[in-house]
Chain A
């Protein structure tokens, strides 16, 4: 009685094979090192400026006067930031910016989510022209809207208000919101929604109880995106306001007559949210830019 052949037993009659050539391995290891080096180089280019403005904003006014400047945080101070935050219009601008961002986000969701759902789920007549229209509006420069809107708002009494900026920012964010939410809803299988209908939900219930929970992460990413857009928008906000400035508009308008320390502090405060936003959005970035924004 003997066991049948297994892989060991089928090993070929010893024929001396050629030496294993390890040079490609060494080449690959060298390439990995070069790859890592290139990554570090690019990271330095991307991160160093942010480090430097943080360093500048966290230095005392005095140490910013020195030359050469120190590259290491050896005299940490909140003086520069404090002075900046206490300057005229900054705290108000900060509050305005947050308000504008939040209201823009809410308004664009209220208007945009139903439209995105319609684009994703219904084959209505005019759907393609509608999408084309959205793409077209995305390509419109902000400046084209801002100047005439300022005139219109002056006539209607909306000029120099948070609402004015909210309306402009919503108009800018809306096409993107609709296109992103449409792609998010496309990712929710129809079966799930239809199952909910079969088991007794009304269309609205099916949407709220089944579709929305599945769409929330994507829509949250779209919302952050809207907020970021609003937070960063300078030109329109500058043109539409005089006293109710958003933070970037305030910084821009006082740029010429402000000291360097003020500008560094302002720049740092404007950059800071980017670090947080991108951190939360980093998993969604490629989805958002890959499939929808065409």
Chain B
């Protein structure tokens, strides 16, 4: 940016570093439209149409538009506990995942011996579904599972970790399984973010007297903000969709909102209420994403 009042000796020469990646432009509207047309048609059919019909379904009843589906949804005894469980899970899980993922990414960046093997193992859960994660941790938490076996070998009494009346341990089991499964996503995003930060910034901070924690707080974390923001939005939206891990671990004992949709559709065979629930999930996801964007943007623009 050539400031008009730039001092003579500092003739602005270089353009400011642009964010990389803008492709060289070439006009070609018709060719481009031809290339993207199939995707637009496809997405309209498979996103647009179902969205519209989903909204109609949620408000649909035997005699025209109604909010009856929503009242049935709200009156269901499982609804509020599923909302509560989902929110509690997200509120507790997300901070744990981010701290853990950040620590993991910093460990990898320190290049310990065997770091590529570590990276592989730590990334494996990225390709594990929440159903599979639930089943994996079922081997640990089930009554005659590995955790109780371990306790028994120390002469301790087994605990019914997943029992209906043991909410804290049930919640803990679901939490651990989800932390295990989904931290990898944040980890990989943060590793990628760290890789894109030139080493110079941290070295400069070190030379100017910053110790490890100051470097992390004053340099690394602020520079990681875009990556963290991406991870936060993605992770939260995905967290709202969690359900099979709880089904696999606890059956119906720990209802989550999307699990309720599944139950309304397959178990209770009521697509209208299922649609209503789906709309709630979507609305909450969207609001969260927008909220994050607003919050994070405001902060980064605030004068220091």
A residues near B, CB below 8 A?
32, 35-36, 38-39, 42-43, 45-47, 49-50, 52-53, 55-56, 65, 67-71, 110-112, 114-115, 117-125, 127, 130, 133, 137, 139-152, 167-168, 170-171, 174-175, 178, 186, 190, 228, 231-235, 238-239, 248, 251-253, 255-256, 260, 263-264, 266-268, 270-271, 273-275, 277-279, 282, 285-287, 289-291, 293-294
Shortest C-beta distance, A89 to chain B (Å), equals 15
Query: A42 near B107 (CB under 8 angstroms)?
Result: yes
- Asked if B296 CB lies within 8 Å of chain A CBs, one says no
Segment of B4-12, B73-81, B89-97, B192-200 engaged in the interface with chain A? B192-200
Within 8 A of A (CB), among B129-186: 129-132, 134-140, 142, 144-146, 148-150, 152-153, 180, 185
Residues from chain A with Cβ under 8 Å of B40 in the complex: 130
Interface residues of B (CB under 8 A from A): 21, 23-29, 31-33, 35-36, 38-40, 42-43, 46-47, 49-51, 53-54, 57, 100, 103-104, 107, 110, 112-116, 118-132, 134-140, 142, 144-146, 148-150, 152-153, 180, 185, 188-189, 191-193, 195-196, 227, 230, 233-234, 237, 240-241, 243-244, 247-248, 251, 258, 261-262, 265-266, 271, 274-275, 277-279, 281-282, 285-286, 289
If A45-B180, A252-B247 touch, whether A170 touches B46 (CB-CB below 8 Å) is: yes
Q: Once the chains bind, are B138 and A112 in contact (CB under 8 Å)?
A: no
Taking the closest CB of chain A, its distance from the CB of B20, in whole angstroms, is 9
Q: Point out which of A47, A115, A190 has the most chain B C-beta atoms below 10 A from its C-beta.
A: A115
With a cutoff of 8 Å between Cβ atoms, the chain B residues found around residue A274 in the complex are 124-128, 132
Least Cβ–Cβ distance between B237 and chain A, in angstroms:
5
A39, B35: Cβ atoms closer than 8 Å: no
Q: A43-B122, A49-B180, A278-B127 are in contact. Are A286 and B188 (CB under 8 A)?
A: yes
- How many angstroms between the C-alpha atoms of A263 and B251 in the bound complex? 12
Q: How far is the CA of A240 from the CA of B89 in the complex (A)?
A: 28
| Chain A nearest Cβ from B244, distance in angstroms | 5
- Shortest distance from the beta carbon of A209 to any chain B beta carbon, whole Å: 18
Closest CB in chain B relative to A37 CB, distance in Å: 10
Which of A119, A278, A294 is within 8 Å of B123, CB to CB? A278
Given known pairs A143-B261, A174-B43, A279-B120, the reply for A290 and B192 (CB within 8 Å) is: yes
Given A111-B39, A147-B261, A178-B39, A46:B240 Cβ within 8 A: no
* Minimal beta-carbon separation of B285 from chain A (angstroms): 6
Contacts of A248 in B (CB 8 A): 129, 131-132, 244
